[in-house]
């Protein structure tokens, strides 16, 4: 999230006016990054942290046996990694691509990149010399649960995120989840059994994947799933909103 930046006398005057106008309005930041941004612009007692939620009933519907079979044809006999590359640089597609040759695995490794514009993404990968036979670019699909249920890893080496929906959704499944510790996603750093790497770190991503390969399909993610349901479900969000309103109206 980017909030306005005001410079000079007129800018500072606008800022003061904004503070006056919004004094009686309460704001909810959907992640720690949004919360911090709001607090730099609005009075502290007007801003609350209410993390976003996932509708898991809707997520369960975003699955297709036929689509999952098509993914299995690409991933069987391989270490499979998925990334949502809807924005090439912001989502860190280049970071994930650079990490592939550094992953140590007895099996072939495949990176599935899900993008809005497949041809443009392939062109960018080739232009930056990241493209290889180990990368498959696929169109974005509504069947995201089928992706999480098929691949071994979901990675999110993003440079910036407002929240991190995909990390939460993937963490409710049984695949390994690796994400960058950047503002927005760092709201989720307490999720158990999710692996965090430094920003812009293709070596760290490769090492994290390599370290987890021997443990594939042997990990029990029940505690992670329980944590997600208790902290990021619609019911948890409603409780947070109720707590915010209770505090606001008690002031």
Structure confidence at residue 2 (pLDDT) = 46
| Residue 1 lies inside a defined structural domain of this protein | no
Q: Are residues 108 and 28 in the same domain?
A: no
63 and 143 fall within a common domain: yes
- The total domain count for the chain is 2
CA distances from 102 to 32, 195, 211 (A): 32, 18, 12
Nearest to 209 by CA among 173, 131, 165, 156: 156
Q: What is the per-residue pLDDT for 8?
A: 64
Task: Strand 135-139: give its sheet, edge to edge.
Answer: 135-139, 109-115, 79-84, 153-156, 176-180, 195-197
Residues 94 and 206 in one domain: yes
Residue 31's pLDDT is what? 76
The domain that holds 165 is classified in CATH as: 3.40.50.2000
Q: Are 238 and 52 in contact (CB under 8 A)?
A: no
β-bridge mates for residue 80, sequence order: 110
Kindly report, residue by residue over 180-229, the tens digit of the pLDDT: 999 889 889 999 999 999 999 999 999 999 999 999 988 888 899 999 99
Q: Are 43 and 114 contained in the same domain?
A: no
**116 and 43 Cβ atoms separated by less than 8 Å:** no
Do 67 and 48 reside in the same domain of the chain? no
For residues 67 and 174, membership in a common domain is answered with yes
Q: How far apart are CA 101 and CA 31, in angstroms?
A: 33
Q: Is residue 2 part of a domain?
A: no
Q: Does 76 lie in the same domain as 46?
A: no
Residues 43 and 127 in one domain: no
pLDDT at 116 over 70: yes
Note down the domain range covering 150: 56-231
Residues 72 and 152 in one domain: yes
Task: Give the per-residue pLDDT at 200.
Answer: 96
Please tell me whether residues 89 and 202 are part of one structural domain.
yes
Mean pLDDT across the chain: 88
pLDDT at 156 over 90: yes
Angle at 135 between CA 130 and CA 141, to 5 degrees: 120
Say what the pTM is: 0.83
pLDDT digits (tens, 9 = 90+) for 56-74: 888 988 999 999 999 999 9
Residue 92 has pLDDT above 70, yes or no: yes
Whether residue 3 lies inside any domain: the answer is no
Same domain, 24 and 143: no
**Beta-ladder partners of 176:** 153
Same domain, 128 and 184: yes
Q: Name 227's Cβ contacts closer than 8 Å, sequence gap at least 6.
A: 190, 191, 192
Calculate what percentage of the chain has a pLDDT beyond 90.
60
């Amino acid at each position: 999230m980017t909030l306005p930046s005001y410079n000079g006398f007129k800018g500072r005057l606008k800022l003061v006016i904004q503070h006056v106008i919004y004094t009686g309005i309460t704001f909810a930041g959907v992640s720690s990054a949004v919360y911090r941004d709001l607090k730099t612009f609005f009075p502290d007692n007007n801003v609350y942290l209410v993390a976003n939620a996932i509708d898991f009933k809707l997520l369960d519907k975003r699955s297709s046996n036929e689509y999952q079979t098509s993914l299995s044809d690409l991933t069987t006999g391989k270490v499979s990694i998925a990334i949502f590359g809807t924005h090439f640089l912001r989502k860190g597609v280049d970071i994930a691509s650079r990490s592939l040759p550094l992953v140590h695995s007895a099996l072939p490794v495949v990176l599935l990149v899900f993008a809005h514009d497949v041809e443009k993404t392939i062109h960018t990968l080739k232009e930056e010399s990241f493209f290889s036979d180990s990368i498959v670019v696929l169109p974005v699909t509504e069947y995201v649960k089928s992706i999480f249920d098929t691949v071994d890893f979901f990675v999110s080496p993003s440079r910036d995120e407002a929240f991190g929906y995909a990390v939460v959704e993937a963490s409710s499944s049984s695949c390994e989840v690796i994400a960058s510790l950047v503002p927005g996603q760092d709201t989720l750093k307490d999720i158990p059994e999710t692996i965090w790497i430094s920003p812009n770190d293709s070596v760290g991503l490769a090492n994290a994947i390599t370290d987890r390969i021997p443990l594939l399909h042997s990990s029990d993610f029940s505690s992670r799933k329980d944590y997600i349901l208790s902290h990021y479900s619609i019911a948890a969000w409603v409780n947070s909103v109720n707590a915010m309103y209770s505090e606001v109206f008690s002031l």
